A = this chain, B = another copy of it.
């Protein structure tokens, strides 16, 4: 359970601020907590906990339910978080991680988002290999024939899927063209947390993609590694995919995803 994990203190900073923030984290975990319980969790006296909570309340970071009731997180946090997202953008946050991923795998890394009924490529980091693919940035690519597209689709519910999917033209011999088949694949993507596409968009082009999520858990973008099929075979994929999902998760964390 949550309690045995002390880990609270010793941050080497200002003690009271440390404690105050720990209180916020406790409230985030438990929802509604009383002063006494907070004090217990911090290992401080009731009165200390009370004063810290009061200070937080004065700034709107926590609110009290009722007159002498428990405490919970307040809307002041929304204001601060709003200011955070103002400067946060996916490309910005993802870039350093993408570069690392590109270096690790040696292949090209892309970031894409859903735009209407296609995938819009926002960023690209070229791999180290001599053979460079063309630059996808700014292009709209079919959703059903790419790993990025499948990941983005996997974040939609059934109704939205129908709005977005119109036709499934065959771009190569291996393109998925049947809706039922695609739906099955999307279920697998949701299950395993990544998607792949081998020779489905272009002959000889293989890619794998994993979801980037925001604080609410919505899939807001997709991160992919792609390269020529002859380089990205079965066994190469077994090392690339974990690196990819790890990187996507890291970006998601930077965007606030991380409720357990």
Contact = CB atoms under 8 A, between A and B. Distances in A.
B87 A81 contact: no
A83 B27 contact: yes
Given A96-B157, A113-B129, A130-B115, A85 B79 contact: no
Given A11-B59, A138-B75, A122 B114 contact: no
Contacts of A103: 160, 163
Name, among A82, A95, A215, the residue most crowded by chain B CB atoms within 10 Å (CB to CB). A82
Of residues A12, A13, A96, A100, which shows the largest number of chain B Cβ atoms within 10 Å of its Cβ? Answer: A13
Nearest to A156: B103
Nearest to A93: B75
Interface in A95-149: 95-96, 99-100, 103-104, 113-116, 120-122, 128-130, 132, 134-139
A17 interface: yes
B122 A82 contact: no
A215 B79 contact: yes
A136 B75 CA distance: 13
A68 interface: no
B75 A115 contact: yes
A80 interface: yes
A172 interface: no
A139 B129 CA distance: 15
Interface residues of A, number: 81
Given A21-B56, A100-B159, A78 B84 contact: yes
A97 to B, nearest CB: 11
A157 to B, nearest CB: 7
A86 interface: yes
Question: A20, A72, A95 — which one has the most chain B CB atoms within 10 A of its CB?
Answer: A20
A168 interface: no
Most buried by B among A77, A139, A215: A77
Contact of A51 (B13, B58, B86, B136): B13
25 contacts: A11-B58, A12-B58, A13-B55, A14-B16, A14-B20, A14-B51, A14-B52, A16-B17, A17-B52, A18-B59, A24-B80, A28-B84, A74-B84, A75-B88, A75-B138, A75-B256, A78-B85, A78-B121, A78-B256, A79-B256, A85-B137, A99-B160, A104-B163, A113-B130, A115-B129
